[in-house]
Amino acid sequence: MRRYLLVLLCLLLPGTALAAVSTQQLQLFIEQEKYVQAALEGNDILQQDPTEARARFLTAYAYQMIAKTDKAISLYQDLIQDHPSLPEPRNNLAMIYLEQGDYDRASQLLVEAINTHSSYATAYTNLSRVYKGIASEAYRRAVSESSEPAKYNHEIKLTAITGLDSIAPQAGPLQQIASKAQPAPKPVATTGNDTQTVVNAANEGTLLIEKVRNWAQAWSSKDFDTYRASYASGYHDKFKTHEQWVKHRQKRILRPGDINVEVGEFKVRQRGANRATVDFTQAFSSPGYSDRVVKRLDFNRVGSQWKIAAERVLSVL
């Protein structure tokens, strides 16, 4: 009977109302966990109006639930580009990247979700889970000296979101048959200081990872001034003075031949307000030498900038 009413109304209603009816049916399929039907319904809606934000989000979620991640990623990314203030697509996209083992991109998306809505409870909770999982796995590997691949991405479960709180649902004549809208997320059960600490830690972690990437890029492109500026002013490694270290590194980096330095699999640990450690994999190649190692950079905060205070290889891969 409900389906009959939907068909009848689709014949009688104008285009805007039709879109509202279809989106409500799509929402209903999602809430009934009929994800295949939801994906089909969403495709029909988007063929009529590819810009409809709620339909794009729900269709992406349906694809995510039936493991068609490429389609889900594409829809989420387009939605983020067109509606950068929405936290929900970033949260759900973070789930996909975490399942793929890309915790760096997942945590970055969650930080961005928090930055769009500073009181967004789900993103806070998920980001906390990611960082706790990373820390737990790093500790396990340090204690056991295991060479097994990290497995935290298989253990962390993030919370999905099935509604866009920032875009009001379209009213329609079938509002009475649509299930009730999800309530807005409740505030995190923490103090203001605790919440700010989570955000600050996430932002600092992202900043430190970007510092490592910029350092590697400067090394690869032989931008020695930028490379040198990444280190603390007194850094000298195994040399007696900073000047000796500078002269040695400049000679090595600027000698003829291309250099390629690729970094990834970051693990960030805060060691107080002004100290942090970043562990990561580094793949280095040059005309006469190449290797792949796990490296650690210790950072100290100097004024408002993070500077490398120590550098060492932890293991050879």
Using one digit for the tens of pLDDT, what is the confidence trace for 46-105? 998 988 999 999 999 999 999 999 999 999 999 999 988 888 899 899 889 888 888 788
CA–chain centroid gap for 137, Å, is 18
Q: Count of residues for the chain?
A: 317
pLDDT at 167 (0 to 100): 63
pLDDT band of residue 146 (cuts 50, 70, 90) is low
- What is the arithmetic mean of pLDDT over 221-247? 93
Mean pLDDT computed over every residue of the chain: 77
pLDDT at 121 (0 to 100): 72
Residue with the bigger pLDDT between 162 and 20: it is 162
CA 188 vs CA 87, 123, 191, 216, 250: distances in Å:
16, 10, 8, 37, 50
Nearest-angstrom CA–CA distance, 293 and 316: 4
The amino acid at residue 221 is: S
21 near 173, Cβ under 8 Å? yes
- What is the arithmetic mean of pLDDT over 1-16? 41
pLDDT digits 0-9 by tens, 174-233? 233 223 333 333 333 434 444 444 445 556 777 888 899 999 999 999 999 999 999 999
Nearest-angstrom CA–CA distance, 154 and 151: 6
Structure tokens at 129: 């889970």
pLDDT at 166 (0 to 100): 62
pTM metric for this prediction: 0.49
Provide φ and ψ at 222, rounded to 5°: 60, 35
Structure tokens at 171: 């009213």
Cβ–Cβ contacts within 10 Å for residue 289, how many?
A: 9
Structure tokens at 165: 């709180």
8 near 28, Cβ under 8 Å? no
pLDDT at 241 (0 to 100): 94
Instruction: Give domain 1-83's CATH superfamily.
Output: Tetratricopeptide repeat domain (1.25.40.10)
pLDDT digits 0-9 by tens, 12-37? 444 444 455 678 888 888 888 899 99
Structure tokens at 67: 């493991």
Please choose, from the candidates 117, 123, 65, the residue with its C-alpha nearest in 3D space to the C-alpha of residue 91: 123
The amino acid at residue 134 is: I
Could you tell me the strand order of the sheet in which 275-286 lies? 260-270, 275-286, 289-302, 305-316
Q: Residue 170 pLDDT > 90, yes or no?
A: no
Q: What is the DSSP string of 82-151?
A: H-TT-SHHHHHHHHHHHHTT-HHHHHHHHHHHHHHSTT-HHHHHHHHHHHHHHHHHHHHHHHHT--SPP-
pLDDT at 192 (0 to 100): 43
CA angle, 149 then 71 then 168, to 5°: 110
Q: What fold characterizes domain 205-316?
A: Nuclear Transport Factor 2; Chain: A, (3.10.450)
Q: What percent of the chain has pLDDT over 90?
A: 37
Sort 40 into a burial class: Cβ within 10 Å, 0-12 / 13-18 / 19+: middle
- What is the arithmetic mean of pLDDT over 248-272? 90
83 near 110, Cβ under 8 Å? no
pLDDT at 93 (0 to 100): 92
Nearest-angstrom CA–CA distance, 176 and 164: 19
Domains in the chain: boundaries: 1-83, 205-316
Maximum average pLDDT range among 19-23, 145-149, 205-209, 257-261:
257-261
